[in-house]
Structure 1
Amino acid sequence: MYTIEFQKRGLPHAHFLIILMDGYNLLTPQAYDKIVCAQLPDPYIDHHLYKLVTKHMIHSPGHDKIAFSVHNNDTNVEIDEIKEYQFARWVSPQEAAWRLFAFSINEMTPTVCQLQLHLDGQQFVSFENNQTVDQIINNPMIRKTMLTEFFLMNKINNDAINLNILHKEFPQHFVWSSSYKIWSHRKQHLTVGRIVTCHPTEGERYYLRLLLMNVRGPKSYEDLRTMDGRCYSTFREATEKRGLLHSDNNLIECMSEVVSYQMPYS
């Protein structure tokens, strides 16, 4: 994972987050010093390079926000003192050129797929300004989400049925099409799934998330609420019957994921 940054006078530089395999982790400052070096060129040996580095690559603490004013030379025009001052972001020539050429600003590997979390019929709906209420309601696509189609795949797709996996594991094997609102088989690229976070005060939505994190291959909301052949009326009841509220399993899973992926889901 990396991101490109610029200072007001500076050249582009990158911030990297690199996760090493077990056995290669750097645990002491001395270990970092062996592979990371940050020093200025000698001003006597390479004076020209020293001037370039100190001019373009060293900056004092600050930010890229500026305030500027717009004046009207016509003294007869009344000036609005509020609108006169503008607040904007300062973009250096280097950053402007970087963006004009559409160079990459950041990248993350593996890709993280954010999985939607919503109760039945409570998903977000996008629509055009010129659409009527009837057109929106009668559009079957608004009822299709990553979650509802995950349930459907566990009903009709043999591979999904045989895999019998959790919702967060689904993007490792299938890819979501936001245009057609369907899951299809993944052919390349590693992707990590993460269900959006949810606070316990959100009630049923929080308990739905707990169930999705622990129940494999659910086929519907009702299936998630079913335990030992009985369908409970709320997700909270279902989580209680599964023992998810009487232990620290969710905390243990979170910390276990930190160890394995170093990318916690909550």
Structure 2
Amino acid sequence: MRPGIFNPIFYGKRLFQQFAVDTYVKIESSRLDYIRNNQDSLWADLYQGLVDSLHAGELRADAVGIRTVLSTSFIGGPRDMRCWYMDAMALVRKYGKPDIFLTMTCNPNWDEIKNELFPRQSAQDRPDLVTRVFRAKLEVMKKMLLKKEILGKIKAYVYVVEFQKRGLPHAHFLLIMKRKWKLTCPKQYERLICAELPNKRKYPELYKMVTKHMMHGPCGVLNPNCPCTKGRSSCKNHYPGPFAASTSQGKDSYPIYHRRDNGCKEKVRGYELDNWWVVPYNPCLLRAFNYHINVEARSSIKSVKYLFKYVYKGHDRASIAVMESGQTDDKGNIDEIKAYRDVRWVTPLEMMWRIYGFDLSVNYPSVKQLQLHLPDMHMVSFHNRQKIEHFVNKPGADESMLIAYFKANMLHESARNILYRDFSEFFTW
């Protein structure tokens, strides 16, 4: 957007949305086509498998099986998401379980968005504007969490940006606090998390934000057609929450938050709702950003794997195809690129996010992946026109990180007290 310059793209409304989607589909298709056309530089097999092929009389590498691979370097692919998940679990092993699970959702009614819209436009007409404003808010959120330490000092964190079916972006944060700031008892939960309507007279603006952004439903008996209840006997998110005089440790790692039966009610979406329906939030963050920002304390190690699986579940899928032989075609060949492309669900906001090159996921601190394998079972890459005999006999082909670790233990006495998982902190591969 430049003063004095008319850009017809910004006035296209739904055509602008289609333009954004089509543009990124071309970009992604180009990347996928490159991966497909350069499979010979991506081929990999177990070292022992190549040796077996050599002993079986197969001399050419292109006879080692046909599989079209979607590489780990492709952002958003299943291998990429699995690597992020494994890296996050490595952080849990190193620093302990996450203490706080935080979800922030874009608010299309932010003043920063509404003030920049052209006449007769709504937020959905400007995916570029919504994307950039949400990214700016996300950066401010990170600054408040990491530098201003609103919730305490953070040792490690992960966050993932996702996009709802209706298009609005939202981010999931998992925060691992330093030892002194870890949440270990219900009294600490109450200092950071509130699950009640605030005092309307004392905090009128906060009260307005809570009733606008942080009230669940209504669902259940009040509204059986609500998406979270439809087809079920009760709400899948366990609302309405029970009244409680104080915060306590609940079952399945979910705390029972402090909710008083004080008679405070507010009419929301045509129903009188009380503290039962308040989604847990942090008053400081809600007041600062004016959007739906759910803050939950993780009270048990049981939820860790579920949370990371949920955060790194990958992109939404529009459909799935079930075939008798999995992802194979009539000739038994496996095409991972086709399997990824056939079920992609894309929205204009996600496409603008990817075009701008913004991060989809971030882990801190970074994780170094180490190889782990049985003897002669490490993974090696090779060119399909390369002779197996030349590769197998190539110096270093039978080495790996794990083998080098064993050799270092033989050569250096100081290395013998260091576990393999911590080895990269002291030695370089």
TM-score clears 0.5: no
- Normalized per residue, the structure richer in strand is 1
- Normalized per residue, the structure richer in helix is 2
> TM-score scaled by structure 2?
0.29
Task: Determine which structure has greater relative contact order: mean sequence separation of CA pairs < 8 Å that are 6+ residues apart, divided by chain length.
Answer: 2
> TM-score scaled by structure 1?
0.44
